[in-house]
Amino acid sequence: MILLPPAPHLCQECAVDHKPDEPHNAQSLYYQTKFRMEHGREATWSDALAHCNEMVRRHWLAELRKFGIPERLLGDAAPANYATAVTTAPSRKDGAR
């Protein structure tokens, strides 16, 4: 199979317009297809979050769980205690997490 690249202004991994420090769109057809071609398996949200820092990963995984995303779609690198770690993380002085 040949997969044409996304437009130059889009992320070259998932074909979505997002900042480099934000996760890839694990639901993007382009991302799923490219990932399966490269790794021989379905991509998970943990795969899409792999390039993000720890706090971003924890936050996204906690939010995905709130939306009821099944654990099998979150991936192996998504221990259930991530949600706890986010809610118990110390707040910044400005009140943001």
SS3 27: coil
Tell which residue, 47, 44, 55, has the closest CA to residue 82: 55
pLDDT band at 73 (very low <50, low <70, confident <90, very high): confident
Domain coordinates of the chain in residue numbers? 44-87
Instruction: Evaluate if residue 93 carries a pLDDT over 50.
Output: no
| pLDDT reported for residue 94 | 46
* Residues 41-71: tens digit of each pLDDT: 999 999 999 999 999 999 999 999 999 988 8
- Rama region for 75: left / alpha / beta (φ>0; ψ in -120 to 50; rest): left
Asked whether 36 and 43 are in contact (CB, 8 A), the reply is yes
- 65 vs 82: which has the higher pLDDT: 65
